[in-house]
Amino acid sequence: MSIRNAHLAALFILLGSILAKADLIMGVGLFMRLKFIKPMEPELVDHPPEGGDWIHEIKFDGYRTQLIKDEDGIRLLTRRGYNWTARYKVLADQAAAIEADDFIIEGEAIVVDEA
């Protein structure tokens, strides 16, 4: 795996936030395929919020993506729900190594280079 692909996979996992954990939902042992969750859209404002209760992060330009892993396998979906698993093969391979049976991770998929 190239450094670029490793950074892509690592940053997606680090920037993503876990939205659902099927183990908690499916306590009775029944299988339910995890479904796409429509992500929150950013809101344009004139000035960022101020004060000690706020933190700010750098906005990387990429593709909003959900990574879903369940009994059906791994799927990577765009913010509109299109299946881009084949385009994100590196991320799908990295997700397979996560030691959890099922999850949804949502974040910005980006490519980091030396520029």
Q: Which of the residues 21, 35, 38, 59 is marked catalytic? A: 59
Is residue 21 annotated as part of the catalytic site, yes or no? no
CA distances (Å), origin 52, targets 26, 44, 46, 49 = 38, 21, 19, 10
Residue 52, SS3 per DSSP:
coil
Q: In what order do the strands lie in the sheet with 17-20?
A: 17-20, 103-109, 63-70, 73-78
Question: Is residue 54 packed enough to be buried (19+ CB in 10 Å), middle (13-18) or exposed (0-12)?
Answer: exposed
Alpha-helical regions (H) of 1-115: 3-15, 22-25, 89-96
Catalytic residues, by residue number, are 59
